[in-house]
Amino acid sequence: MLRGVDLHIRPGESMALVGATGSGKTTLTALVPRLHEATGGRITVDGQDITALSRAELRAKVAVAFEEPTLFSATVGENVLMGAEGAGPEDLARALEIAQAGFVADLPQGVDTQVGEQGLSLSGGQRQRLALARAVVGRPPFLVLDDPLSALDVHTEALVEAALREVLATTTALIVAHRPSTVLLADRVALLSGGRIAAVGTHAELLRDNAEYRLLMSGDPTGDGVAGPVEPSAATPTARALPARTPDTPEDPR
């Protein structure tokens, strides 16, 4: 479903990956840590083909947080520190802080609380925050985030974004994003469309030059204008079918 994808992320750069739902963003990001194997072409990290690296070497270079993370049957602390060799309690605290996972302090045993199948079940947003903490705890040189803020309320999202901004200043990153506020964390944006990278540029450039990008970004339901003005244009497809919403009109009980 991906063919002819060509994307170069500069050292230290943060690249947002934007595309319609089902366009292959998760599939593309999963190729980097080799959760899926590419059937053709190659992916290099720091100039090295990822297939030439051992799992451990690759894991030391690339950390990932997925949209729908799984937690292991272990404590919160173990889940976050997993895979980060040599990381200690201070690193754990820093990672939880970045991910705005303050809820952990309120769990019955704090970071020692058992979660996962045999423990406390956490909400989608809580799991996302632990997955993000897990991704940043080892200070990886390359961070891959698949829409890691999608389940958060806007307030928490803004706090995580502010903390992430500092992390991104010191790493190279690929961040799948749907909302303009997340896109704005990145230096440049790549648009995935039709199985390939259709455009690369800054958020402002793509808004100006790319009708599909304008359309994707104008889905912002708050309409707060973060995405900039969206001119109706003849080139803009109108097939974006939004479910008709009926306003809540409680029936008069009398």
Ligand X SMILES: Nc1ncnc2c1ncn2[C@@H]1O[C@H](COP(=O)(O)OP(=O)(O)OP(=O)(O)O)[C@@H](O)[C@H]1O
**Under rule CB under 6 A, residue 39 binds ligand X:** no
Count interface residues toward ligand X (CB under 6 A): 9
Q: Kindly state the smallest distance separating residue 139's Cβ from Mg ion, in Å.
A: 25
Nearer to ligand X, 25 or 214 (CB): 25
Residue 30 or 87 having the CB closest to ligand X? 30
Comparing CB distances to ligand X, the nearer of 17 and 143 is 17
Q: Which is nearer to Mg ion, 23 or 210 (CB)?
A: 23
Binding region for Mg ion (CB under 5 A): 26
**Residue 214: contacted member of Mg ion, ligand X, none (CB under 5 to 8 Å, by partner type):** none
Torsion of CA 156, 157, 162, 164, to 10 degrees: 120
| β-bridge mates for residue 196, sequence order | 193
Residue 75 or 213 having the CB closest to ligand X: 213
Single out the segment in contact with ligand X by CB under 6 A; choices: 14-22, 105-113, 211-219, 245-253: 14-22
Q: Residue 116 — left, alpha, or beta (φ > 0 → left; ψ -120 to 50 → alpha)?
A: left
Choices 4-12, 18-26, 114-122, 209-217 (CB under 6 A): range interacting with ligand X? 18-26
23 binds, among Mg ion, ligand X, none (CB under 5 to 8 A by kind): ligand X
Report DSSP letters for 37-82, one per residue.
--SSS--EETTEEGGGS-HHHHHHHEEEE-SS----SEEHHHHHHT
Residue 235 binding result from Mg ion, ligand X, none, given CB thresholds of 5 to 8 Å by partner type:
none
Binder of residue 22, out of Mg ion, ligand X, none (CB less than 5 to 8 A by kind): ligand X
The contact mask relative to ligand X for 19-38 (x = CB under 6 A, - = no) is x-xxxxxxx-----------
> 24 is in the binding site of which of Mg ion, ligand X, none (Cβ under 5 to 8 A by kind)?
ligand X
| Shortest spacing between CB 146 and ligand X, in angstroms | 7
Q: Which residue is nearest to Mg ion (CB)?
A: 26
How far is the CA of 81 from the CAs of 76, 152, 207, 235, in angstroms? Answer: 9, 22, 39, 48
Which of 206, 214, 205 has its CA nearest to residue 234? 214
What are 56's two structure tokens? Answer: 């451990």
Closer of 22 and 253 to ligand X (Cβ): 22
Q: Which residues bind to ligand X, rule: CB under 6 A?
A: 1, 19, 21-27
